[in-house]
Amino acid sequence: MRILESPEAISTAQKEFERSVLALAQETIAVVIGFPSGDTPATVHWIPALGIWAYFGEPPREKSPGERYWTVFGVGMPSGLVPIACEINSPKGGINRQAAGAFALGEGGSVHLVHRGIFTAGGRVDYEYTRFRFRWKWIDVSDGDKTSRVMPIAELHSPSLGSSLSDFVMEVARFKEAARDRPRKKKR
Q: What is the pLDDT of residues 152-178, one digit of tens each?
A: 999 999 999 999 999 999 999 999 998
C-alpha count within 13 angstroms, C-beta hemisphere, residue 27:
8
The Cα 67–Cα 98 span in angstroms is: 11
d(CA 13, CA 141): 17
Per-residue model confidence (pLDDT) at position 104: 98
Domain ranges of the chain: 2-179
Residue 6 carries which DSSP code? Answer: -
Nearest-angstrom CA–CA distance, 87 and 133: 18
C-alpha distances (whole Å) from 153 to each of 41, 49, 52, 162 are 28, 18, 15, 10
| Residues in the chain where the model's pLDDT stays below 70 | 62-65, 183-188
- 38's CB contacts (< 8 A; 6+ apart) are 60, 62, 63
Say what the pLDDT of residue 64 is. Answer: 66
88 vs 91: CA distance, rounded Å: 10
Query: pLDDT > 90: what percent of the chain?
Result: 80
Question: Residue 63 has what pLDDT?
Answer: 64
Which pLDDT score is estimated for 59? 84
Predicted local confidence at residue 121, as pLDDT: 86
pLDDT the model gives residue 23: 96
